[in-house]
Structures are given as C-alpha cells and as structure tokens.
Homo-oligomer: A and B are copies of this chain.
Amino acid sequence: MTENPLITLTTDFGLQDGYVGIIKGVIAGIAPHARMIDLNHQISPQNLYAGRFILLNAYQYFPQGTIHLAVIDPGVGGNRRGVAIRFAGGYLVGPDNGLFSGILSQYPALAAVNLNNPTYWRTAHPSTTFHGRDIFAAVAAHLAQGVPLEMLGEIIDPDSLQQLAIAPPVIGEDKITGQIQYIDIFGNLITNIPEYLLQGKKWSVQLVQKIIPAQNTYSDVPSGEIVAFIGSHGGLEIAINRGSAQKQLQLNNGDAIEVIINRQNVTALDQ
C-alpha cells in the first residue's frame, strides 16, 4: 500500500443527512492516514446506471492503487453479495449489483472476493440497512491499511459478478444511432457514441429537421446555439453554448441521437 492511500466515495446518500460523514468517520477510525475524495453523493436514489457512468468516467483520473468505494445499494440486507475487486487501476468495494461493470468492461477484474469475513467489518452484527457503514467502509479502510484482498472473504469467480449492460450504438452504412446515457448539471447531453467511431470522419448530428455540424467546443457557435462535439468524457456530446441543451431541446436519458457520417450536410429542402 502507498504511504497515503486514497479512497473515493460514490453514493446516493445525498449531503443533507449524516450518512456520508458517518462513513468517513468509520474509515478515519480504521485508516487514519487515508485520504478521502468524494466522487458523487447526489446520484438519484438507487440509480445504478448513473453510478456506473460516474465511476466509469472518473476512475482513470485517479492514481494507481486508489480504492473506489461505491454504495448505491437497493438490495441491502437481501441476497446480493458485497464484493471487493482488484483491477489494474486499484480496488473496487461495494455491493455486487453492476455498479462496477463499466470500469470492468475496460479493465477486467484480476481477483474478487465475497465480503463474508466479519473480522474486517465494523461490527460482527451489521445493520441490515446500512452496509455502507458497517461493512463496505470498514473493508475499504482495511484495504487502505494493507490487508490483502484475499483476507476479506471467500474468493469468487470474477465472471460471476453482476453486469449492468448498456446497449451499444447501432452502426449503419452512413449513420450511427446512439442514445443519451447521461445529462450533466449544465444540461449537456452525453451520448454512448465513443470518439473512435467518429474519428477521421466528417460527421454531423441530425436533430429532427436540423443538422448540427461537428465542432470542437461550446464557443465554436454563438451563445444560445446548439453545438455537437467530442466531449471530455471521450464521446459525442450535444450542448447549447452558455445554455442547457436538456431544457432547450427537451431531450432525456435514453432518447435516440442520430449521427450522419461522410455525407454533405443537406437541408430539409434539398432532400
């Protein structure tokens, strides 16, 4: 373990109760030198897809060995397993419900355990409703203290980990049909169409009767205009310069986005 191990926290607990602070108290008690960084606590309650997206888009910016603790846990106290996973970038700790399947689609699990060893829990009698406090926080802190993954519970087959699948974009002859997979606080529409499908090509986005040509950034268009570009997440993003694309275009998560490839931009009249 590193001198100052790093633990990120991702939950749907919000910040208006004391739950996040309590989790940090448990970690600080076990791993006094661990640094903690909040990734996101305002994921909409029990939204596993948003948690998967946040983790997938953040993990690569953290140093090697970082422990990512994530607790979006609608099945807490039921049959779902708690897991700790080693992957090339570090460790993942949380419920086995697909939260980590985005990261693991890029870097497969090197090892995984079912967190059934109470030695590394906060208490041998965990609450049935707050495993974040009683199991996951304690386990992440023990990992930060150098406890080997294999001590934390029974070794399991990484292939048995739950998956949350995202439908890939559909690639046609001269168009790609993807969908909006996340909308950020600015109202930017983030699609599931990755950069490599568009790289080196002339492309534009077709929105109803409007053609939005490929640009590089917000300010390539005047204020209030629609702009399409490869965003900081590494895929197609649709935005309004200094405005909210979500509000102005009335589009939502899951809505289809059509990209036209290698064709002259045409107006409705030309067709």
Q: Which residues of A contact B (CB under 8 A)?
A: 2-4, 6, 8, 13-22, 24-26, 28-29, 32-33, 35-43, 45-46, 54, 57-58, 61-63, 66, 74-78, 127-130, 133-134, 184-186, 216-220, 229, 231-232, 237, 242
Q: Are A129 and B22 in contact (CB under 8 A)?
A: no
- Whole-angstrom distance from the CB of A204 to the nearest CB of chain B? 17
Copies in the complex: 3
Q: Would you give the shortest CB distance from A221 to chain B, in whole angstroms?
A: 11
The contact of A78 among B22, B40, B45, B219, by CB within 8 Å, is: B219
Q: What is the CA–CA distance of A2 and B33 in the complex, to the nearest angstrom? A: 12
Partner of A8, one of B4, B13, B16, B21: B21
Contact B62 A28 (CB under 8 A): yes
CB contact under 8 A between A217 and B40, given known A58-B21, A63-B25 = no
CB contacts (< 8 Å) of A3 on chain B: these are 32
Interchain residue pairs with CB less than 8 A apart (12): A2-B32, A3-B32, A4-B33, A19-B184, A26-B61, A32-B63, A74-B219, A77-B219, A77-B220, A127-B231, A127-B232, A128-B229
Complex interface: chain B residues within 8 A of A232 (CB): 127, 129-130, 133-134
Provided the pairs A17-B184, A21-B8, A40-B18 are in contact, do residues A61 and B29 lie with their beta carbons within 8 angstroms?
Answer: yes
Which residue in B22, B57, B134, B237 is a CB contact (below 8 Å) of A22? Answer: B57
Complex Cα spacing A233 to B120, Å? 21
Which chain B positions have C-beta within 8 A of A57?
A: 18, 22
Structural contact, A129 and B229, CB atoms closer than 8 A: yes
Q: Are B61 and A13 in contact (CB under 8 A)?
A: no
Interface centre among A17, A33, A43, A237 (most CB of B within 10 A): A17
In the complex, what distance in Å separates the CA atom of A45 from the CA atom of B218?
A: 14
Query: Are A22 and B58 neighbours in the complex by a CB distance under 8 Å?
Result: yes
Closest 10 CB pairs of A and B: A77-B217, A130-B232, A78-B219, A21-B39, A128-B217, A14-B185, A25-B62, A25-B61, A16-B42, A127-B232
